Structure 1
C-alpha cells in the first residue's frame, strides 16, 4: 500500500459537484467558475496572514451575479469581467437555474443548500424588473427592514440565517458586521439612515463520506507546521481505494492530489499536498491555476492507500471590499462611479461593504460547511465627503507662484509640540 503522509497541509480544497446540462456549455461555465474561485483564493491569500483560510467562491459569485442584474455601464462591465459571464444572457441564466435545482436536490447523507434574501429599507422601491429577475435567478426572498433600528434588524437577519441553516456564520459575519465596520464605525446613526439594502447569500453543506473514518482509528500524530515545528493533532486514518494522482507545477515542483467522495459521489473533497516535505505550502499555493485544477479530473487514478487526514475545524472572516477591487471590481464600491440604476430609481446607490464568512468542520463522519456573503448598499450623500480622519500629507503654498512655504504630514493630531 502507498501511504499519504501529511506535512504542512493544505494547499486548498474544492467541493466538486457534477451536474446535468449541455456538455460543452457546462464545461465552459465550469472553467469560468474555477477561474473565479482560483483568482479569489489567490487574492485572499495575499491579504490574509492566518495559517488557515477558507472561502466560498460559490457564495461570493452568486452575490456578485445578483449585483450584476442591477448594474449598468462600467459597473456592469467590471462585474462581468470578474465573473467571466453575463447573468442577463439567457443561456447563462438557464445554466444557473439548473445549478440551483441541482443544489436543492439533497440526497440521503448529503445536503447542499443556498438561499438569498434582499433586505430593503422601508420606503425604498425596487424596480419590478430587478425584483423579478433576482427572484427567478437565485430564488431570492424580499423582506422590509428598518436599518435605523439596529437591534431589530440584527435579530431579523439572525433569524433568517437560522431558518436557512447558517447559524453562527451569519450571527458573527453578517448582521453583526452591518453595524460595526467600514463606514459604520462611529457613524451608525447616519450610516443607518443611508443604508438602502442588504443582499445576503448563504451556502450550507453537510456531507457524509462515501466511506467513513472510524473513530477508533484516529490517533494523536505529529503535524508539521510551516515553520518546521511539529504539533500533535487528531489524525484520522483508513485503508481504502481512492482517486489519487501525482502532478507537477510549471516550475517542476511535484505535488499529490487525493479525492475523498461523499455519499453518492456527486460531491467530493480534493486535498493537494507538496510531495517534498521541505517544499513550503506557499510555493505550491502560488502555482495553483485553473488549468492545473482542470488536469486533476483526468490525472487521478484509483489507488489503494493508507490515508491520513487531520480532523479540523476552522473559520475565516473578511471584508471583500478590500479584496474585489484587486479583481477589477472597483466602481461598485465608489460612491461617485457606481451605477446601480437597474436596482432602484433611488440615485447614488453603491456597495459600501461586502462581508464574507466561511467555516468548515471535517471529522470521521464527513464534513459540515457554511458560508454567508452580505453586500451592503448605501445611498450616496448629497455632497462628496472629504474626511481627514487618518494620517495625511499637507503643503502650504503661494497660489500665484506655486512656491511651497511649508510641507509636512500629520500622523497624530493629538500629539502636541513641546
Structure 2
C-alpha cells in the first residue's frame, strides 16, 4: 500500500472546491439576517422608552454591506460579526443580490401599483479621495446603493444639497449604481434634513465619509379595511391611561397563532398579507393585557420568529388594528457601536483601505431615515368621532388596542424590511 505524505494530502484537499449547499446557505443567511434585525431593533430602542419606533433592518444591512466591501482588518471583522455574514463571499453576495431583486420586483411601481418600496443607500465621499478601482467595480453590482462625490469645495456658490454629485470612476462619468438622477435627488433630500447638511458648509479636517440610508413603503392590503368600519376606540397606554385612536376593523380570514416564550409568557401573532401575497405585516401582541410589551421584547429572538411560520393557521377573525404613521430618523453612529460595530467611526481605528489605499477614511456620520404608514389603503376619510357599538361576533377577536410589535417582511426571502412597535398610535411623527 502506498501512503501519501501529509503535505500531498493537504495539497489535494486544497484543490477540492468548497461545497456550498444552496439550501443550507439560504437557511443560515435567513437566520443571521433575522438575528441582525433583532439586534438592530434592541440597539435602536435603547434610550427610547415607551415611544413609537421603526427601523429597517434590510436598509441598514445594505448600508453596512456596502461598507464591508471596502473594510479591512478589525473594521471588516466587526462589520462581519455585526451583520452575521461576509458580503465579500461571492456565494453570499450572489444570494443577497438575488433576494434584493425579488423584493424590488414584488414592490416596485413598475411591477405593481399596489405595493411601493423605495430603499436608497448613499455613501458620500470627498472629491479629493482616490477610490480603489476594485471597490468601484464591486459597488457597480451592489443593489440600490450609490457613491457620490462632494463637489462643494470646487463650487462654493452652489447650494449645499446640490453639491453632492454622482461618482466619477476613472475617466468615465455617471454614478456606479446606474440610477444617477434618482439617487442624487434622494441624497439631496436626506442631506437637507440631516445634521450633516445643517452643520457643515464644507468637510472638516481629516478624510471622511458619510453614510445615508432611507426606506419608504406603502402597500395595499390583500383585503382592504373600509373607512366606514373605522371608528375612534380606546387604546391602552403603558401608564394605564387610554386615548381614542382611529381603529380599523374587518371580519376576514387571516393567519393567526398563539405562542409562548421560555418563561411561559403568552402572545399572539397575526399575519396580514398585502396584495400580491409577496409581502405581509405581522402584528405581535401580548395575550395578557397586564403584560407590558417591554417584557415580551426582552425575550423574543429569531428562534421565536422562525417558529411562527409553522404555528400560524388560517382563521376567520374580527381584526381591530389602529391606523398609524411613523417617521424615525436614527443616528447610526450611536446605534451601531452598541452592536459591536465601533471601529468604522473611529478616526484612529477605522480601516477602509479597500475603498482608498491612499487616504485614511472613517465614517464621520451615518443616518437612517424610515417612514411607514398603515391605513385602510390610502383613504383620506376621517374616522367617526363617536363611539360605535359593534355587534358581537362568534368569531375570535384580535384587537390591537394596546402596545404591540410589528414586522413587515418579504415572505419568500424572509427579509425583514421594517420592524417596530406602536406604543401610542396618536403620536403620528417622532
Q: Select 1:262's aligned residue among 274, 285, 291.
A: 274
Distance 2:45 2:118 in 1: 26
Cα shift readout 1:308-345 (whole Å, capped 9, x = no counterpart): 00001112222111111111111111111111110013
Equivalent of residue 126 in structure 2, options 121, 132, 139: 121
What is the alpha-carbon distance in structure 2 between the residues aligned to residue 327 and residue 144 of structure 1? 29
**In 2, distance between residues paired with 1:129 and 1:198?**
20
CA shift, 1:196, in A, is 4.1
Whether the 8 Å contact between 1:145 and 1:153 is mirrored in structure 2 is: no
Q: Distance in 1 between matches of 2:240 and 2:165?
A: 41
Distance 2:320 2:165 in 1: 37
Paired residue for 2:335?
323
Counterpart-to-counterpart distance in 1, 2:100 and 2:220: 21
Equivalent residue number for residue 26 of structure 2: 26
Deviates more, 1:152-161 or 1:249-258: 152-161
Aligned counterpart in structure 1 of residue 194 of structure 2, from 168, 176, 187:
176
User: Residue 122 of structure 1: CA displacement?
Assistant: 2.1
Contact 1:274–1:281 (Cα < 8 Å) also in 2: yes
Contact 1:71–1:339 (8 Å) recurs in 2: yes
Q: 2:312 maps to what in 1? A: 300
Aligned to 2:61: 61
Which deviates more from structure 2 when the two are superposed, residues 202-211 or residues 263-272?
Answer: 202-211
1:15-69 CA-to-partner distances (Å, cap 9, x unmatched) read xxxxxx9433222111111000001111221222351001111111111111111
RMSD: 2.9
Q: How does 1:51-130 map to 2 (within 5 A)?
A: 51-105=51-105, 106=108, 107-108=111-112, 109-130=114-135
Aligned to 1:413: none
Instruction: State the partner residue of 1:3.
Output: none
C-alpha displacement at 1:99, in angstroms?
Answer: 1.5
CA contact (8 A) 2:259 2:267 kept: yes
Deviation at 1:162, TM superposition (A): 9.1
Deviation of 1:104 after TM superposition, in Å, equals 2.5
Which digits, 9 at most, give the CA deviation of each residue in 1:338-362, with x for residues without a partner?
1111001333211122111212110
Does the CA-based 8 Å contact 2:215-2:369 persist in structure 1?
A: no
* Structure 1: tracts of 5 or more residues without a match: 1-20, 373-418
**Secondary structure at 1:76's aligned position in 2?**
helix
Cα distance in 2, alignment partners of residues 312 and 30 from structure 1: 28
- Find out whether 1:278 has 2:290 as its counterpart: yes
Distance 2:225 2:22 in 1: 36
Residue equivalent to 1:224: 236
In structure 2, relative to structure 1, the CA distance for the partners of 1:285 and 1:150 (3 Å cut) is farther
Q: 2:331·2:368 contact (CA, 8 Å) conserved in 1?
A: yes
Deviation sequence 1:375-408 (CA, Å, 0-9, x none): xxxxxxxxxxxxxxxxxxxxxxxxxxxxxxxxxx
Question: Would the alpha carbon gap of residues 163 and 244 (structure 1) be closer, same or farther in structure 2, given more than 3 Å must change?
Answer: same
Q: 1:157-236 alignment to 2 at 5 Å?
A: 163=182, 171=189, 176-180=194-198, 188=200, 191-192=203-204, 194=206, 196-236=208-248
Partner of 1:4: none
The two structures have a TM-score, normalised by structure 1, of: 0.75
- Going from structure 1 to structure 2, the CA distance change for 1:139 and 1:246 (only over 3 Å counts) comes to closer
Which residue in 1 is equivalent to 2:169?
none
Q: Judging changes above 3 Å, is the alpha-carbon distance between structure 1 residues 118 and 355 closer, same or farther for their aligned structure 2 residues? A: closer
3-state DSSP of counterpart to 2:238: coil
- When the two structures are superposed, what TM-score results if normalisation uses the length of structure 2? 0.73
The change in CA–CA distance for 1:236 and 1:221 in structure 2 (over 3 A counts) is same
Q: Which range is displaced more, 338-347 or 158-167?
A: 158-167
Mapped to 2, the partners of 1:162 and 1:361 lie a distance apart of: 26
| Mean Cα deviation higher: 128-137 or 154-163 | 154-163
Distance 2:307 2:184 in 1: 34
Structure 2, unaligned runs of 5 or more: 1-20, 167-178, 380-407, 409-416, 419-430
Closer, same or farther in 2 for the Cα pair 1:318/1:280, shift >3 Å? Answer: same
Is this contact kept in 2: 1:209–1:262, CA < 8 A? yes
